[in-house]
Structure 1
Amino acid sequence: MNTEKLIKNIIDQIKEAQIKLGFAKETTRLYYPVESLNAMLGIHTDNDEEMLEALGSSDLHDTELGQLHFSAHKGRIEISVPPEGAAYVHEHVEEPAFLKAMIELFRQNHHCSVADIRALFESFSKDYVCEKMPEGSDFDEVLYFKDASVDAYYYCVKEEMGHTIYHRFTKEDMENLW
């Protein structure tokens, strides 16, 4: 079981929230579909009960984020990170430059366009991909860097009624969306 990939994802999600909302030493609850956890952990479970069993026998209970707790919640797995985990991320994890710039772009301009987002990607690397999402998708386009060291996430964007939103996905989750 590849627990390091999950820990990194948890840290990344907490850091994103801290960039957006600021630091608060409080419990963080993250919700993952079983399919996402299967992909990150490199295992196969069929449902939330099997995933809880797998997580219960893993080494994820005592991490640099503190003691993680797992529960099933409406078909997803809730991972509860104690306040010490939020403090660890705040004190030991640098703000990723691209993510910080992306959040700042949205903070400064709630009406930013996909062209603005493309320009931001290009300012970090000319070697990025911007693809239209399939008809009927929840998003208009997906953007990502070919070199994952710039930023490993896939950013799905949607323009609707004068506003643009984004969601970040792992490569594995993106493959499941397509």
Structure 2
Amino acid sequence: MEQNMNEQKLIQNVIEQIKEAQLKLGAEKEVIRLYFPMASMNAILGTNYTDEQKMLAALRTNTVFDTTVLGRLKFFIHEGRFEVRVPAEGAEYVAGEIPDPPFLKAIVELFAHHHSLTIEEICACFAQFDKTYHCEKMTPGTDFDYAVYFDDAEYDAYYYCVKMEMGHTIYHRFTKEDYQMLID
């Protein structure tokens, strides 16, 4: 059974992930490979596939992915996850055409220059953009100490899960749907 897909949401997610990587590592004209668990892919696409091969076939035969702003997206299954392969022209497009989101740039720079941040320093970065951000202590066993996010997606729609361990502070960005799966 064919399912309707929110192709544009996947394309936007891929653009946002490439932009984050470029802010962290610099921009190169190179093939980009991004990996998604099936549950994440279903959440992004608004589908409910349970069979990897059926989802893969649907992605590969969807002509929307042949002519995106990133070029032709290719799909594979790699070690139980979906690989989205973006051509080098897609990385070049993101670097040249997609402006750096101000909050994302600020948080990446904060983590790049300070390896053992406190939660107060991280929250101060959020507060520079919107005083009504949320900072929640996470339940033990979730692999993270805090979740920090905005109500207003205008600043940033992701949930930043923070881990403080052995003198280092790291974050991982999750979509709202992936964050919900993480805590459930």
Aligned mates of 1:111, 1:134 — CA distance in 2 = 21
1:52 to 56, 81, 92: 56
Q: Does 1:66 align with 2:98?
A: no
Aligned mates of 1:170, 1:92 — CA distance in 2 = 23
Q: Amino acid of the residue matched to residue 154 of structure 1?
A: Y
1:5 to 3, 9, 23: 9
For residue 129 of structure 1, what is the aligned residue in structure 2? 134
Q: Amino acid of the residue matched to residue 56 of structure 2?
A: L
**Deviation of 1:134 (Å):** 1.3
Q: Does 1:86 align with 2:91?
A: yes
**TM-score scaled to structure 2, two decimals?**
0.94
**Deviation of 1:62 (Å):** 2.0
Q: Amino acid of the residue matched to residue 12 of structure 1?
A: E
Q: Amino acid of the residue matched to residue 137 of structure 1?
A: T
Cα deviation code 1:101-135 (max 9, x no counterpart): 00110111111111110111111111111111112
Unaligned runs of at least 5 residues, structure 2: none
**Deviation of 1:48 (Å):** 2.1
2:126 aligned counterpart, secondary structure: helix
Cα deviation code 1:128-178 (max 9, x no counterpart): 111111121110010000111111000000000111000000001011111
**TM-score scaled to structure 1, two decimals?**
0.97
Aligned mates of 2:105, 2:12 — CA distance in 1 = 17
After TM superposition, where is structure 1 displaced by more than 4 Å over at least 4 residues in a row? none
Q: What's the % identity of the aligned pairs?
A: 54
Q: Does 1:118 align with 2:123?
A: yes
Q: Amino acid of the residue matched to residue 86 of structure 1?
A: A
Aligned mates of 1:2, 1:32 — CA distance in 2 = 15
**Deviation of 1:11 (Å):** 0.2
Q: Amino acid of the residue matched to residue 42 of structure 1?
A: G
Aligned mates of 2:82, 2:125 — CA distance in 1 = 33
2:161 to 144, 156, 172: 156
Aligned mates of 2:30, 2:89 — CA distance in 1 = 8
Unaligned runs of at least 5 residues, structure 1: none
Aligned mates of 1:156, 1:35 — CA distance in 2 = 19
**Deviation of 1:47 (Å):** 3.2
